[in-house]
């Protein structure tokens, strides 16, 4: 099995790639699109709205490294991998919820990022879409 993000080999059943940290989805054959339709498919049933959330925070060491990087300027790489993990995790959670109600696809996927506030340093990635049953045309 190979990581969909970096392409390196990973052990079967792993949730995250040990090389790049990307979430490894087990949703083979499940279609997820940001568009309201899937080219080449027709939607035969709309099952409803599904959501997946992934709140994340950095530990003290990560915040320290981010503080140093922010003084220099440029990308804060200590947060990049955590945000990527959170995004993939939110998408995987919305896929699992859709599959649990019988969907084989999600259309209109929307990803949002927000800060939980209260100076807690918690970022929430939200994935929302419409669970559908889609069949090839």
Domain that holds residue 72: 31-136
Query: Would residue 53 count as lying in a domain?
Result: yes
User: What letters, b where the CB count within 10 A reaches 16 and e where it falls short, cover 2-36?
Assistant: ebeeeeeebeeeeeebeeebbbbbeeeeeebbeee
Is the pLDDT confidence value at 72 over 70? Answer: no
Please state the pTM of the whole predicted model.
0.69
| Each residue's pLDDT tens digit, 77-102 | 667 777 888 899 999 999 999 999 99
CATH of the domain at 104: 3.30.110.70
Total domains present in the chain = 1
Q: Which of 19-23, 38-42, 109-113, 125-129 has the lowest mean pLDDT?
A: 19-23
Let me know if residue 18 belongs to a domain.
no
Pairing outcome for strands 41-56 and 31-32? unpaired
| 111 within domain boundaries | yes
Mean pLDDT of the chain: 81
pLDDT band at 120 (very low <50, low <70, confident <90, very high): low
Residue 21 lies in a domain: no
- Domain membership of residue 8 (yes or no) is no
- Measured torsion, CA atoms of residues 23, 26, 98, 35, in degrees rounded to the nearest 10: 70
Q: pLDDT class for 51, splitting at 50, 70, 90?
A: very high
In a domain, 7, yes or no: no
Q: Establish if 82 belongs to a structural domain.
A: yes
* 110 assigned to some structural domain: yes
> Higher-confidence residue: 71 or 107?
107
Count of alpha carbons within 13 Å of 109, Cβ hemisphere only? 22
């Amino acid at each position: 099995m190979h990581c969909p993000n970096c392409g390196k080999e990973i052990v079967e059943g792993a949730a995250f790639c040990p090389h790049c940290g990307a979430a490894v989805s087990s949703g083979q054959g499940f279609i997820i699109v940001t568009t309201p339709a899937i080219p080449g498919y027709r939607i035969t049933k709309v099952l409803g709205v599904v959501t997946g959330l992934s709140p994340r925070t950095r530990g003290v060491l990560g915040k320290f490294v981010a503080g140093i990087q922010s003084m220099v300027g440029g990308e804060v790489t200590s947060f990049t991998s955590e945000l990527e993990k959170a995004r993939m995790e939110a998408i995987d959670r919305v896929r699992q919820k859709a599959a649990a109600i019988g969907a084989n696809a999600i259309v209109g996927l929307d990803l949002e990022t927000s800060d939980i506030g209260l100076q807690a340093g918690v970022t929430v990635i939200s994935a929302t879409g419409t669970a559908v049953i889609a069949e090839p045309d």
